[in-house]
Structure 1
Amino acid sequence: MTAVPATTSAPPAPPFRTVLVANRGEIACRVIRTLRRLGIRSVAVFSDADSGAPHVRLADVAVRLGPAEPQASYLDVDAVLRAAKATGTDAVHPGYGFLSESPALARACAAAGIAFVGPPVHALEVMGDKIGAKAHVARSGVPVVPGTAEPGLSDDALVARAADVGYPLLVKPSAGGGGKGMTVVRTPDELPAALAAARRVAASAFGDDALLLERYLAAPRHIGVQVLADAHGAVVHLGERECSLQRRHQKVVEESPSPVVDARTRARLGEAACAVARSVGYVGAGTVELLAEAAAPEDFFFIEMNTRLQVEHPVTELVTGLDLVELQLRVAAGEPLGLTQDDVRLTGHAVEARVYAEDPARAFLPTAGQVLVLDEPAGDGVRVDSGLSVGSEVGSTYDAMLSKVAAWGPDRATALARLDAALASTTVLGVTTNVPFLRRLVAHPEVRAGRLDTGLIERHLDQLAAPAHVPDAALVAALRATADRAAPAARAASAGSAWGPDGWRLGEHLPTLHVVTSADGERTEVAVLGPAHDAQVRLDDAPPVRARLTPVDGTTAQLTVESVVRTVRVASDGATTWVGHDGSAVALRVMGRLDALAAARARDDRPAGAADPVVRSPMPGTVVAVDVATGDHVTAGQPLLTVEAMKMEHRLTATTDGVVTLQARPADRVALDQVLATITPHGTDRTGQDTTAPAEEGTRP
């Protein structure tokens, strides 16, 4: 799978002695691995939240930037330059996101005599302004999607221009990328709120709240073309990537080559992408992003150029055999590219899936927690780019992507099969992820047939985002709880161990009844008649079955139901038992029958049909906007406050009419399910007493 003929000459010298990686997570780890292979000293930077992160441990040197907030750490150009100077850095590699497309960082590097591993400032400025980029590209003869073309427009001006763009339309931040802040607006009434939300996200994620409007194509395919260019005028493309499987304009699964692009169309796409790169004197790796109607991929429109390494670059590396990071470093050092367009060969097929900390069953809201158990796949054609390790803390401050699982095969069907098997071998306990969703997506008949467009996920969302199957996991949790009850020492085990430091111990065998509740509220009653190693188990009203749970090690067990045996992973963070199998991971709370009855009685105390007066945070995050004050009279559906996590906003509304009491303020950090507000229905006071009833004799009304 190599694109350049092998030679017997000595390997070329490293282009730099020391490179600072101005990023975090999986991309920082991925860049550092290439630096290590090339014999280049690596410097990691980190915020207070990442002091023990894998990229910090992997690097040769690590430097603290500042607090967890990106503006005070990873987005602080001065802090990055101080770290570079203090460590004798020759070059700064920005990865993607954060400062990767920042002219300010490129200028600061140049002023300090440090190479910036990216394009020249001119290219960053032209392509970083999506409004200006579209106008620039249109002048070069490449078709663009209709939309606004004036920078710096106010909300009122954008509302006025919207009629000319036409509905439905897309609100997009002019700076940045990755789908952050992008919103589809279908009617004029939706536009003001969408503009306000997009500006907040853009300012937070990119430090620039400028917006543009673009015509929304109903069923487009999203195709990116990878380009490489050197400072000597050479520009080549490495084929296209199909990026149509998206959710909220964020890519989820990518592949190369596209299943609908033939050789002639590939040449046309590549020529257009190279022309775009040449028009701004591009140097380095970049991606020209295009949209095409699903039924006519040969007719395409330019939407933007990402002037950096893309998240999905592994699929290009797998089909070309090239290391894009090494090529970035060499052209940044002034070396010639060393290959022509004729040298590039696409061999086989590659598909990549992005693993996110999010809960598909709860509208893909971000999740958080500590990684208790981690299994990452390996095998023929499988590649994992990860920033995870056991003990990693996943918070709400940064992007939700945890890792990328990619698979190569000689053909598309083999690549998809290998990817599914790799995802089935992926286990993350302690943090809810989208792995089961990804497995359903890559197995979907339309995906297998290559009939893709950016709306596919939304059309099949109910099927793809269904909650995890709970009964088998509930059985495991109940058997484990039964073992713990029989062996009290197991409860004193360290976090993450399912059985305890002294092994599997059983005491008196007593029938036990458990109520197992999943995160989305599904309840399963499990009766365990006998010891966990040999029990009759009944789930809800189903007939009893013979089951046993046999420990293999601290977090692994064999579950046998009748004659069927499967390996499961089990861990606990104290209140929650996590059960993983075949790529799924279910968080369960196990209660005794009396505790479950008490919880049910508390829920039933509300009048039939009454809305829950308590407003809870749907995700861990930060309160970024508050629309009401304590004591205000509100109506059901009225906006109360907005929580942001991982650059995604969620607006919370009143559940019923009444008087609101706030329990959160702007900038507060909040946890999943934390109470943020309470609505006292009209006619009751804040203690729940009926204020409309006649006062008792001898009391003042």
Structure 2
Amino acid sequence: MFNTVLVANRGEIAVRVIRTLRALGIRSAAVYSDADAGSPHVAAADVAVRLGPAPAAQSYLDIDAILSACRAVGAQAVHPGYGFLSENVDFARALEAAGITFIGPPVHAINLMGDKIRAKNHVAAHRVPTTPGIAEPGLDDAALSAAAAGVGYPLLIKPSAGGGGKGMVAVHSPEALPEALASARRTAASAFGDDTLFLERLVPSPRHIEVQVLADAHGTVLHLGERECSLQRRHQKVIEEAPSPLVGPGLRQKLGAAAVAAAASVGYVGAGTVEFLLSDANPDEFYFMEMNTRLQVEHPVTEQVVRVRGQKLDLVAWQVRIAAGQRLDFNQEEVGLQGHAIEARLYAEDPAAGFLPSVGTVEKLRLPGAVRVDAALREGQQISPHYDPMLAKVIADGPDRAAALRALDRALAHTVVLGVKTNIEYLRLLLADPDVVAGKLDTTLIERRSFEFRRPGPAQLALAAHLLSPAPGTGPWAADGWRPGAPAPRRMQLEAGDRVHEVSLSAGTAVVDGEAHELLDTPNGVQLDGQLADISWAREGDTLWLGSEGWSTAVRRLGRREQIRQAQADATVCPHVTSPMPGTVIAVKAADGDAVAAGQVLLIVEAMKMEHQLASPADGIVRMPALKPGDLVTTKQTLATIEPSADDEHTRKDENG
């Protein structure tokens, strides 16, 4: 067994791997970027090494820096987690050349399965069914466009390198293909350093089922059942479960046999996942999608339900044992499933604003008990724009699916993360969807759903006003200092989401947006109309974060100048186009002086591994600085301004006489 293992990752997966290393009695070494110097995974490890600046290319993706860290701590092995370098064949080769064990499959398995075109053609030769399409290396946009008609619409563009749904684009007509190819190439080049693409027929309303495999270096390859991963948004999984509500014993045996055949065909070693597409209408017809040659984000649901001789499995522990040369000490007949487990991915994002990633500081944190939580969060932690926005995974299990769903919903209701916007409320709404409850799932279900998100009511706004304003009569410049009689009401404007609310507080009364309510300040909080505002809160300057039962919002008190600007903005369309968050310009679609139309895309900014299209708010002439791909932008930075065209000016003059 190894003495020291370096974990070449960050966040919750690094913490999860370090936990198992400690249980095995192995010294753990963490690595970190400047942005992660104070992160929980650094504190959890026995020793930690700085890699470089915040951008991943200069830290977590820097192979030489990680090799140097291995030498500095005397690591005999590296666990890559998932993402970053976990499926990078050059990294595996570099470790091999340095005499350091890669806790993962052999180089040739990563190389073959890491390229989806090669993988698809390879497994097809081993009688594993594959999706119809065109998968040939080196095809440019012209060749793909020419082949698209033969594949048939709708179709799916997929990058040959990488995974996680990044760069995958569904196309429903020939007219949409050119821009979709351009977007997929940009994403693939940025995420994987390889913009090779291929096309597959889009299977309508498919189920996404994946099979966990485990193989040692002595010829044993086993499967550990399947996971249901159909609840996806933009090809990124949101909720996963094991076992799948669609799969019975017979189909499980067929899927498992196909997964084992795919893994054995490349001499696979370690933990891996074979992913399939199948349809509710005919689940016996399933198609190989890809093989992930690493640990999956959703591996905990398998750990919660798989039993070997009555005991749970630790997949990370078996990854380490197999890498050290140990044999699997059980066979396929000894693998069983018990109960049901469901995992929800908690993201820093704003579902009400199109799932825009959120950055900021975690001001208040409460994670649920009685369930498994894989996280690397602490109060005061900065959520960086440089990395994936996933904050934690909440995993609940029970004797059956209904019990697991209830347990997960309760856990999310008791989760509090204030200081950044999160998807907790969205997760609870999704879990309550009738089709989700019934197990009628497919990869397009989320796209077909729209939910009404909760807004702060009078009680929450009154509480925010109370906490964001000083008590009357306090301070040297108190508002009522020169007023005889009763104190003057405390009036303010509060911004919550896309709305601004008028609030006035006086003794025993709160007027919210023109409606009066009885207000009582008690030792336990604020009562409005006799109801106690049962809510968690955290203050950050002029912003108050409120949270209750998974719902949260930020309420900000506007200053006097902002109130004037708000009144002006209410009277006209804001002419400025700003960046929603820190990011990198990846495409410029207009030039200074161009005539543009409302809704026309001017720039595309990438942040937290997502593309954000910034459009013109009105017709007019665009004025913008000389931006180019690769330029860094900050939150609310003005990237373009729309001026009225000459015709518009003449029209206004005519209308005004």
TM over 0.5: yes
Distance 1:659 1:546 in 2: 50
Secondary structure of the 1:180 match is coil
Are the equivalent residues in 2 in contact too, given 1:664–1:676 (CA < 8 A)? Answer: no
2:521 corresponds to which of 544, 548, 553: 548
Match of 2:576 in 1: 614
Match of 1:526 in 2: 503
Q: How does 1:175-194 map to 2 (within 5 A)?
A: 175-194=161-180
Are the equivalent residues in 1 in contact too, given 2:468–2:542 (CA < 8 A)? Answer: no
Match of 1:4 in 2: none
Per-residue CA deviation, residues 289-312 of structure 1 (Å, 9 max, x unaligned), is: 011112332321110011100000
**1:601 pairs with 2:572:** no
Distance 2:49 2:626 in 1: 34
Match of 2:144 in 1: 158
Give the counterpart letter for 2:646 in structure 1: G
Q: How does 1:272-671 map to 2 (within 5 A)?
A: 272-320=258-306, 321-379=312-370, 382-460=371-449, 462-463=450-451, 466=453, 468-483=455-470, 487=474, 510-519=488-497, 521-530=498-507, 535-548=508-521, 550=523, 558-565=525-532, 567-591=534-558, 598-606=564-572, 611-663=573-625, 665-666=627-628, 667-671=630-634
Give the counterpart letter for 2:643 in structure 1: T
Give the counterpart letter for 2:493 in structure 1: V
Are the equivalent residues in 2 in contact too, given 1:221–1:244 (CA < 8 A)? Answer: yes
Secondary structure of the 1:579 match is strand
- Give the alignment's TM-score, normalised by structure 1: 0.87
- Give the alignment's TM-score, normalised by structure 2: 0.93
Secondary structure of the 1:428 match is strand
Secondary structure of the 1:99 match is coil
Distance 2:631 2:474 in 1: 42
Give the counterpart letter for 2:256 in structure 1: G
Give the counterpart letter for 1:673 in structure 2: K
Distance 2:542 2:637 in 1: 16
Distance 1:372 1:604 in 2: 31
Are the equivalent residues in 2 in contact too, given 1:148–1:213 (CA < 8 A)? Answer: yes
Are the equivalent residues in 2 in contact too, given 1:98–1:206 (CA < 8 A)? Answer: no
Give the counterpart letter for 1:349 in structure 2: H
Are the equivalent residues in 2 in contact too, given 1:537–1:547 (CA < 8 A)? Answer: no
Pairwise CA distance, 1:119: 0.5
Cα gap change, 1:66/1:595 in structure 2, threshold over 3 Å: closer, same or farther? closer
Distance 1:63 1:364 in 2: 34
Distance 2:83 2:331 in 1: 29
Cα gap change, 1:451/1:605 in structure 2, threshold over 3 Å: closer, same or farther? closer
Per-residue CA deviation, residues 441-500 of structure 1 (Å, 9 max, x unaligned), is: 11111111111111111111x21x6354454432221121244566559x9xxxxxxxxx
Cα gap change, 1:575/1:212 in structure 2, threshold over 3 Å: closer, same or farther? farther
Per-residue CA deviation, residues 273-325 of structure 1 (Å, 9 max, x unaligned), is: 11111111000001110111123323211100111000000111111221110
Match of 1:58 in 2: 44
Are the equivalent residues in 2 in contact too, given 1:468–1:584 (CA < 8 A)? Answer: no
Distance 2:565 2:287 in 1: 56
Give the counterpart letter for 2:213 in structure 1: V
Cα gap change, 1:550/1:138 in structure 2, threshold over 3 Å: closer, same or farther? farther
Pairwise CA distance, 1:595: 6.1
Distance 1:573 1:579 in 2: 11
Are the equivalent residues in 2 in contact too, given 1:476–1:579 (CA < 8 A)? Answer: no
Pairwise CA distance, 1:400: 1.2
Q: CA RMSD in A?
A: 2.3
Deviates more, 1:241-250 or 1:58-67: 58-67
Per-residue CA deviation, residues 36-69 of structure 1 (Å, 9 max, x unaligned), is: 1111111111112212111111111111112222
**1:119 pairs with 2:105:** yes
Distance 1:618 1:358 in 2: 12
Are the equivalent residues in 1 in contact too, given 2:596–2:616 (CA < 8 A)? Answer: yes
Distance 1:515 1:253 in 2: 38
Match of 1:680 in 2: 643
Distance 2:277 2:460 in 1: 42
Distance 1:470 1:225 in 2: 45
Q: How does 1:43-122 map to 2 (within 5 A)?
A: 43-122=29-108
Distance 2:252 2:122 in 1: 23
Secondary structure of the 1:587 match is strand
Pairwise CA distance, 1:547: 4.0
**1:221 pairs with 2:207:** yes
Cα gap change, 1:136/1:243 in structure 2, threshold over 3 Å: closer, same or farther? same
Cα gap change, 1:560/1:235 in structure 2, threshold over 3 Å: closer, same or farther? farther
Pairwise CA distance, 1:588: 1.0
Secondary structure of the 1:345 match is strand
Are the equivalent residues in 2 in contact too, given 1:471–1:524 (CA < 8 A)? Answer: no
Give the counterpart letter for 1:475 in structure 2: A
Pairwise CA distance, 1:143: 1.0
Pairwise CA distance, 1:209: 1.5
Secondary structure of the 2:19 match is helix
Match of 2:246 in 1: 260
Match of 1:505 in 2: none
Pairwise CA distance, 1:627: 2.4
Distance 2:562 2:548 in 1: 26
Equivalences, count:
640
Distance 1:82 1:600 in 2: 53
Give the counterpart letter for 2:300 in structure 1: P
Distance 1:481 1:94 in 2: 45
Are the equivalent residues in 2 in contact too, given 1:482–1:528 (CA < 8 A)? Answer: no
Deviates more, 1:438-447 or 1:671-680: 671-680
Pairwise CA distance, 1:392: 1.3
Secondary structure of the 1:544 match is strand
Are the equivalent residues in 1 in contact too, given 2:463–2:533 (CA < 8 A)? Answer: no
Deviates more, 1:166-175 or 1:93-102: 166-175
Identity %: 56
Pairwise CA distance, 1:341: 1.2
Pairwise CA distance, 1:566: 5.1
Secondary structure of the 2:343 match is strand
Deviates more, 1:438-447 or 1:72-81: 72-81
Deviates more, 1:294-303 or 1:538-547: 538-547
Pairwise CA distance, 1:361: 0.6
Are the equivalent residues in 1 in contact too, given 2:517–2:529 (CA < 8 A)? Answer: no
Cα gap change, 1:263/1:571 in structure 2, threshold over 3 Å: closer, same or farther? same
Distance 1:645 1:437 in 2: 21
**1:198 pairs with 2:184:** yes
Secondary structure of the 1:384 match is strand
Give the counterpart letter for 1:515 in structure 2: Q
Pairwise CA distance, 1:334: 0.7
Cα gap change, 1:691/1:268 in structure 2, threshold over 3 Å: closer, same or farther? closer
Pairwise CA distance, 1:258: 0.7
Distance 1:40 1:71 in 2: 29
